[in-house]
Structure 1
Amino acid sequence: PAVLGRGRVGTQEPKRPNILLVQADPIPAQIITGQEDPPQGWHSTGQGKLAPAPTVTFEQTAKDTARYDTLVLPLDIGQSPDAQVERVAVTDAKGQAVGIGDVCALRITTPKGVDYYVNDLRWAAIATAPGLVKQVGPLRTDARAAVIRLSPDGAVRTFSTVGASLLELNGKAVRDR
């Protein structure tokens, strides 16, 4: 693996599939291999023997809770690691801001389009009943969790929700085809 920028790490094998890891918050990334103190970057080869192995670390300092919302994107052979991840502001039904500790909302942009990912963490468990209405960028939903994929021109390609009775994009209902 290699550090590909702040908050971005991936493999870059020209003749193999690769993987890209992108943090929602651009925090420093580091690859550690065979570090003695503290021990990091090792794997067991069996019989109590260790061998150096690259280990990805992302580092941040937080007073209360550190959040690591990470995109893990498999890449086809030759596919460019061209993906951007950004947090999307969330408001409740009354227009009040909802914090990232309550709802994780991400916009993932690639050459294939835009994905919105919403995970309402205010629920104790994944439920099937509709939940709390929230506005996430152009989305309005009461889903516990939702993913919606848009084409580069903004058309809905596919979507999936858990516990939703409402899913709108730019004020229009999103429905099964």
Structure 2
Amino acid sequence: MTGPGKNPDDAAEVIHEQRRECLCKLTKFVGAAGVAAAMWPLVAALGPDEQTQADGEPMDIPLGNVAPGETLRRVWRGKLVFIRHRTEQEIKLANALDGVSRIQPQADAQRVKPGHEQWLVVYGYCPHAGCIPNEQTGEKSGWLCPCHGSEFDLSGRVTRGPAEENMAIPDYAFHPDGQTLRIGVKDV
């Protein structure tokens, strides 16, 4: 291995240098693969799930088993939707509060479908910061955002707190049978 004018220590140093370079490259490769493997679940979690990848197809919701005073929670296109079966007393209270909303005064009749006043359909998010409001019963029936204190009446109108908008209303319609709600359409 050594020839005239070659130092055996120089050859050993070259071999050691090549090994170091190889180990460094291998370590970088394994490290990059480890980071990619660790990031994969995070990146996959940030994307839409299989239910929402149906590109917003309308969703039918049977209403026959929902008693007055109950609220259904459904997820459509990755967004929470509240479907409230309001009692006669709740409808009267919502109508009595027309014009009370401090930001966007809307009549209750503008927030429900004619002939289906007992059904309130709103997105289940506080428009202030996207929190999910908790349902309130009793004197202050409606929803309360636990994070910042915004309050919404039984029509989804903001009555108190930092929210600047009423709870949003998705496109929806009722089937002619009156017992099925279709979210994602304006007419059936």
Same fold judged by TM-score > 0.5? no
Give the TM-score normalised by the residue count of structure 2: 0.25
Q: Larger helix proportion, structure 1 or 2? A: 2
Question: Bigger radius of gyration, 1 or 2?
Answer: 2
Give the TM-score normalised by the residue count of structure 1: 0.26
Greater RCO, 1 or 2 (C-alpha within 8 Å, sep 6+): 2
